[in-house]
Chain A
Amino acid sequence: AQTVTQSQPEMSVQEAETVTLSCTYDTSESDYYLFWYKQPPSRQMILVIRQEAYKQQNATENRFSVNFQKAAKSFSLKISDSQLGDAAMYFCAYRSETDSWGKLQFGAGTQVVVTP
């Protein structure tokens, strides 16, 4: 079974600065998908960014980018130019390519605190 580990329970960043959240996963598969979800105080889970394992290029969505290191099984999220609205719990998630039902395996989450 795959496991997803987020080793940072909380990260603090000042507005306009950059913060990087770490995520590692354990799998024996070669094809899979990785996601970062954001859960603000409203508790609504929102997809931030997605990475297909077969793509070498790191995914980017505006101020959010990932550093995907397949051999190291690492998938970190970088938030640039942090804004107060980025304050939330961030979850890393894994989905197997062979799992037809789209099950996601989530990490424990990292709380991001943004200070003015």
Chain B
Amino acid sequence: ETGVTQTPRHLVMGMTNKKSLKCEQHLGHNAMYWYKQSAKKPLELMFVYSLEERVENNSVPSRFSPECPNSSHLFLHLHTLQPEDSALYLCASSQWDSTGEQFFGPGTRLTVL
């Protein structure tokens, strides 16, 4: 695998379900990000992890819970979501002390029924 991978690519869940999104980067980066992309809205930064520590949480509801067990993996745990949480969730990675370009995964299309 190369670059940034995300699984699953598509997920349909009910409001009472618990699921997790997985992101893995194969670029040797030390920062990882979760973004939410909804229709007709700019990308919203949700969480930033640098050196496996969360450094930013952009007022995201607690029904979204991130986990970064090591510098290559990032998870987003989901529970009791709402239909308005349906969106494309994008993971990205970067070298935080570099010139800043982020490399994105293909995203997980989440539908909450």
Within the assembled complex, what's the spacing in Å between the Cα atoms of A44 and B101? 15
* Distance (whole angstroms) from the CB of A32 to the closest CB of chain B: 9
Binding stretch for chain B, among A18-26, A68-76, A77-85, A94-102: A94-102
B52-106 contacts to A (CB < 8 Å):
55-56, 88, 90, 92, 94, 96-106
How many residues of chain A have a CB within 8 Å of chain B? Answer: 23
- For residue A90, CB closer than 8 A to chain B, the reply is no
Among A91, A102, A103, A107, find the residue whose CB has the most chain B CB atoms closer than 10 A: A102
Does B97 lie within 8 Å of A44, measured CB to CB? Answer: no
A101:B50 contact, CB within 8 angstroms? yes
The answer on a CB contact under 8 Å between B106 and A44 is yes
13 CB < 8 A contacts A-B: A4-B42, A43-B88, A47-B102, A50-B101, A91-B43, A100-B50, A101-B56, A101-B96, A102-B102, A103-B48, A104-B45, A106-B42, A107-B42
Q: Residues of B with Cβ closer than 8 Å to A?
A: 31, 33, 41-43, 45, 48, 50, 55-56, 88, 90, 92, 94, 96-107, 109
- State the A residues within 8 Å of B (CB): 4, 33, 35, 37, 42-47, 50, 52, 91, 95, 100-104, 106-109
A-B pairs, 4 with minimum CB distance: A45-B104, A95-B100, A106-B43, A102-B94
